[in-house]
Amino acid sequence: MKFSLCIGAYSGKDEVYHLEKIKEHGFHGLEYYAWWNLKDLKATAREQERIGVGISATCTKFISLVDESLRDDYLQGVRDTIEACRILGVTSVISQTGNVQDGVPRDRQRETMIETLKRAAPLLEQAGITLEVEPLNGLVDHPGHFLQRSDESVEVVDRVGSPNVKLVFDVYHQQITEGNVIRNAIGYLDRINHYHIADNPGRKQPGTGELNYVNILKAIKDTGFGGFVGLECGYTIDTDEAIRQFKRDVLAPVLG
């Protein structure tokens, strides 16, 4: 397994500062969501080369997947993101789904999503990039988000039928939505490209809530998973100290 931090882990600091901290802590990547906020993609690419750690995941433009009238906009956003990823050397792209449309049957919205992802798939396959659909909880953080459950998300991925369209499995969101975390986190492994972790309640660093991350990460590690696990969380204490505690209390027992 490889571990990443997310932009914002160090409040007010830019991507270069985050990358240097990631290198310092022995982690492996940075999730920088809105690539379009980077001032100079080529300059960031040079900094990645200098530091020896790079951006491991970014996002597509935030355009609804369930609104058929926005399909062309979504696909253009994918094209733009692929070009940014080419410059930055990024191979994982996260996509949210958008909110449920009032007055439109849910099955129709799901079919719209599947068809749009099918049209995006050849672009992603040609570029060698994996798009990761992300289910989010609607109870606390994202009311109305279309995809929330992991089983429905897996059904969407299976129907798209491309090795370059998978899921990011966010343990925090799925704990809130459905529980049954370890069984789903490893049962859907072949459809998952990477994981997000944070504790619940509060969405702070692992060890501050109810989730047993030693057991969760051991179960994922035991599958042979070699992808990224991203700390997508806030911090209750100084970020550097929180990361040191995470490495000592969670990673050390998991990695041995």
Paired strand residues for 194: 168
Q: Which residues contact 126 (CB under 8 A, 6 or more apart)?
A: none
Cβ atoms of residues 166 and 200 within 8 Å: no
Which positions are catalytic?
A: 134, 232
DSSP state of 193: E
Paired strand residues for 55: 30
Which two tokens mark 47? Answer: 């900094």
* Buried b / exposed e along 200-222 (16+ C-beta atoms within 10 A): beebbbbbbbebebbebbbbbee
- Quote the CA–CA distance of 70 and 72 in Å, as a whole number: 6
